[in-house]
Amino acid sequence: MDPVSENPSSFQPKCLGLSWGVKIKRKLKSAAPFLGRFRPLVGQCCHQCTPESLGLKLLRNTPPLGFQNLTSVSETHTGYRGWLVRRVCCLLFVWGCEVHPSPAGDRRHRVHGSERCVRQALVAAYSPDETELVMPEVRDHLGRLLALTQTFISPYLLRLVSWMLLKVFSLMFCSVQVNRNQLAALHRATQLKSPLVYVCVRQSGIDHALICLTLFCHNLRVPYTIYPAHVRQSWLRSFLQRLGVVLLPEGSESERDAEMDSLYSPVMTSFTGELLREGASLSVGICGSRGHGGQWLARVHQAISDGLVPDVSIVPVGISYDCLPRYFTRPQAGVMSALRFAVSLLKGGHRGSVRIHFAQAFSLKEMCQSGKCRVDGGRPLQDLLLTAILQDRMDSIFRQKDVSWLLPPAVMPELCPADRQQTIALTLHLMYSSTTTMAVMSTSLVSCLLLHKHRKGVRVSVLCRDICWLLEEVLFRNIDVGYGGSLVGLVLHALSLLRPYLLLAAAPPTGEPIIAPRPDPDSLLILSQHCDLLTHVFIHEAVGACAVSAMLSEVVGCGGGGDPEFDVVLGQEELTEKSLQLTHLLSPGFVPPCQTAHGFALDVVDSMVRCGVLVMEEVQKDTPVCDFMKKQGVLSWAVSDNPDQSSDSDCEEPDARSYKLSQPSQCPELLFFLCSLLSVRLRALCWALESLHYLPSPVTERDCLSQLHTHLKNRAQLEKAHYESSSIDLVRLVLRTFIDLGVLTEDRQRGDVYLDVSPLFSQCAHKVKLLQFFKQFIYMYN
């Protein structure tokens, strides 16, 4: 295994302002690279769902092949030498890369002639009498959809665009790092003779470009890219289609509009099957907050069910950015966006790095047949939590949560319920796998510490100490980091990238720099965006800390208020129940579908012991026990018809563990830090619930999202704090949670969705109970 220090992306900042950078550097002592800290083997497939794929051992870390900067091309990458070669080495390298041709051929006729494409769609959409009348219009519309099947990959255009991308990315980023061991695993996966499907979580518009460029530069088949962008210019559409980009059909403004078309889904399903039968690869992006991308996984699975291909290998991809590209955070394509991007390149500035991780390929057929990855039998969120919130009954929280909205019945209505549930489970698992494959970047560490631990400012020396601590915690959880080198270079690089969002001051009398986040909305939203991945890394500890906070708040409430009491014993049963309640509120991607929510909650309690927040404790009679589900001192008696068969073991107390807060120097400071990771989401839920009475009734889903976003921004402005809880992505998650909880009811009419406050939560008492339920998990909310 190669140590962190061997990463070629050791940072040596060049563009940092002299006066600002020197002040920090003078106060930092030279530190050796992170020797002895080895990179974990990330990207292994699930041992429960795909044990046979794991047994193939495609992904190996021995011998360590190290990392490669994709944009650093020299004459050593070509078969030539000389001064002229050094000037055109990038062009020679691109020309020497292997390209797997993928012509369209008669694909359009094969898709048009498929049983699924025309006949089933017409039978489902029209009656026999209407078919003859609408046939001319259907043919015209079908012709526009079939034009998408003419997408192909031109070898000469691919080489030209790859050369341009290498030049552009070298201006955008200081490095684009890829793991050579993972690329060697991909080469071994191609020998299995199954088509590869690359799946990533959507972050920016250049995600797929980075994936395709990486595969091209390493002589792997460039995939067809599913890119749900609305492109109006016909010349740009033709250009992208020659690069294998599958766009939205003309006239569709969004992916949701396209999927509502009764002919679009059958055509795309047949098109996907034909591509896989040709041996082509696919690149698909999924989005948990909007439920996009799952339908393409259903089409891939359908190709296996129809016998078009025997199997498909799925490759989760994790892409990590030091700083997300400003003009590519939404799926869009056009001349104006390209011009704005060109202007940003000319302005220059500090450039971050990118880390791309390819997980081990696994068999889709094996995952579907193993029976471990499944979500059938789930219950709506309101069935799981409302009895606990309103009636304080915990009997229903141990079931699984239903997330059928990830692939609603209106999308691909031809899917049977079993295949739909299987696709939802696959989508959840890939969201989890892609996220855990991502590397933690230096900007994420610094942003997380400034936002959740040192919000009022911190000395540089203390910040460096905490970075070392957080680095060890991340590596301990088998998560890779996207940097290497000395501590001085790491801190300077991260602070140079985050400089527009930070404040710098000198601490008397030593003059040591103090760094704090800027208290404006844009800065806090950017810093919070960098922290998202670390929330996934520490999700067990964050849920456990919030559960402990909720139990401590109940102790304070029972004691009549005052300062929180830390010298209490926490019962395992109630601690697990609190963790389970909060687990149900998490968005998709945090818990894999092969693990139950109750199993996750038990892992949460164990993780609190491992990280040192809790220690197991013997229950003493004079110690208050924070377990309201049982009464202290009450024994469990066994019932027997024969008194002679009774024994001393019948009156033993059940083997229930108890825990107590440890008292090291980092606790309760560590507890506050972990609670703060989820407080951003929980605070957004509280603010949104308090703002519901401002919304008109009923209101369309689009208007509800916009107005709720405005209310949250106004609330943050009013409090002049916590602006990170008012982002549009959080509002989408809040809206989804309210619909699942039954706070808002959906009414589909006239092709739109109208939302209204349910009668149950129109009552003030129930609304107050729900608000208190959210607030209990936020430590010291008041």
pLDDT-derived band at 336, boundaries 50, 70, 90: low
pLDDT-derived band at 297, boundaries 50, 70, 90: very high
pLDDT for residue 346: 59
pLDDT-derived band at 391, boundaries 50, 70, 90: confident
| Torsion sign, CA atoms 380, 383, 388, 391 | positive
Q: Is the pLDDT of residue 22 over 70?
A: no
pLDDT-derived band at 334, boundaries 50, 70, 90: low
Burial class (CB in 10 A: 0-12, 13-18, 19+), 753: middle
**From residue 329, how far is each of 262, 280, 325 by CA, in Å?**
30, 28, 7
Helix, strand, or coil here: 237? helix
Q: Is the pLDDT of residue 579 over 50?
A: yes
Q: What is the pLDDT of residues 72-91, one digit of tens each?
A: 888 777 777 777 777 788 88
* Residue reference for tokens 């001085």: 488
pLDDT-derived band at 429, boundaries 50, 70, 90: very high
* Residue reference for tokens 């796998």: 433
The residue-averaged pLDDT of 111-132 equals 64
Q: Which helix (H) or strand (E) holds 85?
A: helix 83-87
Q: Is the pLDDT of residue 573 over 80?
A: yes
What ranges in 198-277 are assigned the alpha helix state H?
A: 207-217, 234-241, 255-259, 264-277
Q: Is the pLDDT of residue 1 over 80?
A: no
**From residue 530, how far is each of 224, 321, 322, 336, 731 by CA, in Å?**
30, 9, 8, 27, 18
pLDDT for residue 257: 84
Average confidence score pLDDT of the chain: 83
- CA dist., res. 509 & res. 487, Å (int): 25
pLDDT for residue 620: 55
What ranges in 335-441 are assigned the alpha helix state H?
A: 335-347, 364-370, 381-390, 417-437
- CA dist., res. 733 & res. 756, Å (int): 17
pLDDT for residue 748: 83
pLDDT for residue 525: 95
- CA dist., res. 672 & res. 675, Å (int): 5
Higher pLDDT, 718 or 486: 718
